[in-house]
Amino acid sequence: VEETYIMVKPDGVQRGLVGEIISRFEKKGFRLTGLKLFQCPKELAEEHYKDLKTKSFFPKLINYITSGPVVCMAWEGVGAVASARKLIGSTNPLQAEPGTIRGDLAVQTGRNVVHGSDSPENGKREIALWFKEGELCQWTAVQAPWLRE
Ligand code: GTP
Ligand code: MG
């Protein structure tokens, strides 16, 4: 089972899209193992996006992610990382397919409402970065036998 770190970015919170975004992952059949509203400090945003440090948009990206509270989530499921990326859609919302979160709910790369881990390794890394151990919760979903044969 794979874990992925999903985050509603500050624009998603401000635009009232938290419920809509959580709902899409819930309905897909992933299992929620962590959830919190959180004001991200600059240092954490920089660590999270450290691979993009050399990009010209990096300072803007850090300002964006720290501009208001985010909703941090850990989701688990078979193939959850790639599947979540598909549900989220392309980085540029204008190129994201209709039916995806960004395709349906956003118009600009710099305000693309949601983050999703890009590999199982980064899923683990990001969940460890954004959550303390006691904040995560393992539980048995009663719907499990109705999701997989
Ligand atoms: P995340 O799920 O947030 O990691 O997005 P991604 O994996 O689709 O894209 P990537 O990791 O390459 O970039 C991370 C984030 O940086 C994007 O989601 C955007 O919010 C932002 N970003 C990427 N490219 C640009 C850009 O050219 N301009 C601006 N302003 N922001 C960008
Ligand atoms: Mg990324």
pLDDT tens across 100-138, in order? 999 999 999 999 999 999 999 999 999 999 999 999 999
Instruction: Check if 59 has its Cβ closer than 6 Å to any atom of ligand 1.
Output: no
Residue nearest atom 6 of ligand 1, based on CA coordinates: 91
If you ran DSSP here, which 8-state letter would residue 146 be given? H
Q: Indicate yes or no: pTM above 0.90.
A: yes
Instruction: Check if 61 has its Cβ closer than 6 Å to any atom of ligand 1.
Output: yes
Q: How far apart are CA 69 and CA 78, in angstroms?
A: 29
Tokens of 31: 């299992």
Q: What one-letter code names the amino acid at 26?
A: E
The verdict on whether residue 27 carries a ligand-binding annotation is no
Cβ-count burial 111-123 (b if 16+ within 10 Å, e if not): bbbbbbbeeeebb
Query: Across residues 6-19, what is the average pLDDT?
Result: 99
Query: How much is the pLDDT for 15?
Result: 98
CA 109 / ligand 1 centre spacing (Å): 6
Q: How far apart are CA 66 and CA 70, in angstroms?
A: 8
- Per-residue confidence band for 144, with pLDDT thresholds at 50, 70 and 90: very high
Query: How much is the pLDDT for 50?
Result: 98
Q: Show the 3-state SS of 31-47.
A: EEEEEEEECCCHHHHHH
- Per-residue confidence band for 61, with pLDDT thresholds at 50, 70 and 90: very high
The verdict on whether residue 24 carries a ligand-binding annotation is no
- Per-residue confidence band for 63, with pLDDT thresholds at 50, 70 and 90: very high
Provide, rounded to the nearest whole percent, the portion of the chain with pLDDT above 70.
100
Query: How much is the pLDDT for 80?
Result: 98
Which of 24, 31, 48, 115 is catalytic? The answer is 115
Which residues surround the ion ligand 2 when the cut-off is CB under 5 Å? Answer: 118
- ipTM greater than 0.85: yes
Tokens 């975004």 belong to residue: 21
- Is residue 115 flagged as an active site residue? yes
Provide, rounded to the nearest whole percent, the portion of the chain with pLDDT above 90.
100
Query: Across residues 79-104, what is the average pLDDT?
Result: 98
Interacting residues of 2 by C-beta distance below 8 A, sequence separation 6+ = 76, 77, 78, 79, 80, 81, 120, 123
Q: How far apart are CA 81 and CA 19, in angstroms?
A: 20
Query: How much is the pLDDT for 59?
Result: 98
Q: How far apart are CA 36 and CA 147, in angstroms?
A: 26
